């Protein structure tokens, strides 16, 4: 049962991260399309946002592995 729970947690974390990163990148592309001169600052903010969005599923996977091996 613990293996199933860890697998579901990892899958949902990956799904959420992919959705979040897709939203961040799509909004950045929209911003660059509207104001091409702001490409540099928007790209920097996009990479910071991707890092923040990606940190949450990594923590979720670590917690899933810890729960899987403790019981």
Domains and CATH numbers, the chain: 1-70 (1.20.20.10)
Q: What is the pLDDT at residue 67?
A: 82
pLDDT of 62 higher than 80: yes
pLDDT value at residue 71: 64
pLDDT of residue 42: 95
Residue of 22 and 66 predicted with greater confidence: 22
Q: Provide the 10 A C-beta neighbour count for residue 66.
A: 11
pLDDT digits (tens, 9 = 90+) for 12-49: 999 999 999 999 999 999 999 999 999 999 999 999 99
C-alpha separations of 27 from 14, 37, 63, 65 in Å:
20, 16, 30, 33
pLDDT at 9 over 70: yes
């Amino acid at each position: 049962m613990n293996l199933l729970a860890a697998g579901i947690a990892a899958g949902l974390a990956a799904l959420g991260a992919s959705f979040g990163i897709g939203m961040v990148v799509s909004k950045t592309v929209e911003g660059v399309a509207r104001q091409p001169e702001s490409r540099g600052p928007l790209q920097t903010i996009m990479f910071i946002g991707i890092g923040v969005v990606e940190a949450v599923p990594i923590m979720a996977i670590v917690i899933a592995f810890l729960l899987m091996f403790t019981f």
